[in-house]
A = this chain, B = another copy of it.
Amino acid sequence: MAAAAQVVHRQGAERTTIADIARAADVPVGNVYYYFKTKDELVKAALAEHAHQLELLTGELDRLGDPRERLKRLVETWVSQRDVAVRYGCPTGTLASELDKRDEGGLDEEAGRVIRLLVDWVAGQFAQLGQPDPEGLALTLVGAYQGMSLLANALRDPTVMTRQGERLLGWLGSLPDPLATDGPPAGDSPPGEGR
């Protein structure tokens, strides 16, 4: 499953052959079919692997006390993984984009569910911050991540990740804190202008 996740991320689902995954896992091709009946099941396994990684990450972040701090740390994690994003894009996002082109097999919905996991977790953080539209804010944050990953990848430019990451951190810092009694810590700052 780990080999499938990595190879599918790097080569894309369609360009990845069973032989590629078998080689990465150092097993003969025929052996793969003992555990996965079809190639689609291997892709599904890769998706599950990405979902697992995501759960590990959010589990770590949940140990932080402040929801705002959790979101900031999430953004910092994205930026820290910029090199792989520049070369291959976001693992879940690029896979979802590819699978959504299909109209049979149901793998597209599977990919959507993994994206949902992230959006829902982020929305939960915004809700804890007392924000009025946590789902909308979550779509904004996750959408910004998907967009900057795609642009960094397409333009082969890691500074897209660092620059947009800075902007997101500034935005998160500017959100009013409902727990504070004496107003927000700093003035609002629109995206791209947060300096």
- A contact residues vs B (CB 8 Å cutoff): 10-12, 14-15, 88-89, 93-94, 96-98, 100-102, 108-109, 111-112, 115-116, 119, 133, 136-137, 139-148, 150-151, 153-156, 160, 163-164, 167, 171, 174-175, 187-193
Quick one: which of B119, B147, B190 contacts A142, CB cutoff 8 A?
B147
The docked-state distance in angstroms from the alpha carbon of A100 to that of B86 is: 10
The docked-state distance in angstroms from the alpha carbon of A133 to that of B193 is: 8
Number of copies: 2
Q: Which residues of B contact A192 (CB under 8 A)?
A: 133, 136-137, 139-141
26 contacts between A and B (CB under 8 A): A12-B98, A15-B101, A93-B97, A94-B101, A97-B97, A97-B98, A97-B154, A98-B98, A109-B156, A111-B154, A112-B154, A112-B155, A139-B192, A140-B191, A142-B151, A143-B151, A143-B160, A144-B191, A145-B147, A146-B146, A146-B151, A147-B150, A175-B193, A188-B190, A190-B190, A190-B191
Q: Which residues of B contact A96 (CB under 8 A)?
A: 150, 153-154
Q: Which residues of B contact A151 (CB under 8 A)?
A: 115, 119, 139, 142-143, 146
Q: Which residues of B contact A171 (CB under 8 A)?
A: 190-191
Q: In the complex the two chains form, is A155's CB within 8 Å of B14's CB?
A: no
